[in-house]
Chain A
Amino acid sequence: MTNSKTRRQVMRSLTMGGAIIGASLFGFFPVLRKWTQRLRPPGALDERDFLSACIKCGQCVQVCPVKAIELGDLDEGFGVGVPFIPARAQACDFSCDAVQCVLACPTGALNHAIVKKEQVHMGLARLDRPGACLARKGEGHKGPARPAPFKGVHRYAEIDRWKPVKLAEYPYDLAICDLCVRECPIQGAITLEPMSSDPADKRRTPVVHEACVGCGMCEMICPTEAASIVVDIRRKWGDA
């Protein structure tokens, strides 16, 4: 009697222990199959190291002045509680100067060797829908870049360096749309180039340069729906 009871308990324990380990291993699927690729905060290590080094505390979330950082959920496997930036909804605009999230990170998952925004490599911007780009059509833009109910914010140095302004409450009046260039936080990362040698031709095309850090500001500010310019996550200069 006691023996069969003990045996059943041991079987139950093995089954339950196996089930718990099995459940924890489900995290491999989203990670290895890259179900949910995410734009990581500035200074993030290579994805593999980043997932192991991150202690999932969200201190980076708390220090970000524009609240660009969110934490991963169950569908991201081992990425549960790991920070990412949904650039189209709220990009990092580097208005914090000294990459606050990197300073906040207790484990170095956001690499502490990074001291200024120009050293960051989150990805690279790419003109995804050239046909939709307003500048390429020679069109301007009037009104907010992203009208309500869009909730994203940006800290405009020329208005108030410390107070984020809702994009939906900040109207522009541009003869030629140059929002991605105008609001890019990195010097020389993106320029507008003429599309022909004809001086009367108003059409311009955004060109991404090696200085681009992939913060996603251009993706957020792009007034076309969906964004004409997007960030390729973790792509490096020279990659296909």
Chain B
Amino acid sequence: MSLLTSLKVMLGAAPERPKTTTPEAAAMHEAKRLIKGPERAREIKAAHAEYKSNKWRNIRWATLIAVNLVFVLSYRFDVQLVEGALTASRVVGFHMADLNSALQVMLAYKVILLNLVIGTGTVLLMWWLFGGRTFCSWVCPYHLLAEIAEKLHLVLAARRMVVDYPLHRGTRTVLYVVFALLAAVSGYTVFESISPTGIVSRALIYGPGLAMIWVVGLLAYEVVFIRRMWCRYICPIGLTYGLVGAVSPVRVKYNLENCLHEGDCRKVCLVPHVLDCTKKTYAEDVEVAIGADCTRCGLCIDACPTGSLRYDVKGLNKLL
């Protein structure tokens, strides 16, 4: 997938079936076309029979909780390992600033201090290495709450008590521009006052306040009406990191060879449009790197019974 396509899809365009396919991939697609109906169903059933894994989810949840706990405990016990909150902090004295919060401040205040440049630069490099939206699924505390809300939504949806009303993914792009303009024009960091990431992070560290009502309200809305509304269609933080990590070395990689195209990966994915290549005949090559909007959460890797999706570090495979 080209970088441009990957960015376009992240900004809201519907993913398209690639126009060209490499000969190797075409041969595989053709071979799979020959396996039909009952035989294919048998294959899928067999693959799933003994397969169940929550490995990456567990590792990720442990990481997310650990990172947030370091903030909380460091302040509680005054060890000064990590000071601040997720919006900006000092890690062993070294400045770190959340890219979106820093951007809002720069747009609103229009004066940029060296500290903020250092903090932004550090975080930029770090999240470029890990892959931009890694922040979302591996660090953001709201993401974890929203995952729990999503589970609840799916349970209720299975009992037909709630229905998902998806929004257009371009909503986030429009809101991103609106919030950037609002900050620049009004001179206030408008988005920060409703950002659940900042609110939950501060609530954990400094104690919860009325602002948590907003967060609980959002979660409730996600349970009843729109599955993962905030992370999928609204949050500008996700888009900022998505842009930063668009060409990052760490990504999820798809391998066409053993894929059964049953689509379990797309069902668990926060951003299923990035997994469009896993649809039957959609892969343009034998190996496809997953696009910029991917949060590297690993749910698809856990879900895949054939090991067709894996974490991958660009260039490292050649070295090993």
List residues of chain A with CB under 8 Å of any chain B CB.
9-10, 12-13, 16-17, 20-21, 23-25, 27-28, 31, 48-49, 51-59, 61-63, 70-71, 73-75, 77-78, 80-81, 104, 106-109, 112
Contacts and interface: CB of A to CB of B under 8 A. Distances in A.
Given A51-B189, A77-B193, A81-B199, A59 B83 contact: yes
Among B83, B115, B119, B199: residue with most chain A CB under 10 A: B83
A9 B174 CA distance: 15
Contact of A55 (B88, B165, B205, B209): B88
A2 to B, nearest CB: 12
Contacts of B190: 24-25, 27, 78
A10 B90 CA distance: 42
Among A13, A52, A59, A78: residue with most chain B CB under 10 A: A52
Interface in B204-253: 205-206, 209-211, 213-214, 226, 229, 233-234
Among B111, B116, B209: residue with most chain A CB under 10 A: B209
A20 B102 contact: no
Categorize the interface residue count of chain B.
35 or more
Interface string B173-203: 0110011001100111111111000110010
A25 B185 CA distance: 13
Interface of A is mostly: helix
Contacts of B202: 56, 58, 71, 81
B61 interface: no
Interface of B is mostly: helix
B171 A80 contact: no
Given A81-B202, A107-B115, A20 B175 contact: yes
A21 B178 contact: yes
Contact of A51 (B171, B188, B199): B188
B168 A13 contact: yes
Nearest to A49: B109
Contacts of B175: 17, 20-21
Contacts of A25: 182, 190
10 interchain residue pairs of minimum CB distance: A52-B108, A57-B88, A73-B209, A57-B84, A74-B210, A53-B109, A27-B193, A13-B168, A13-B167, A108-B113
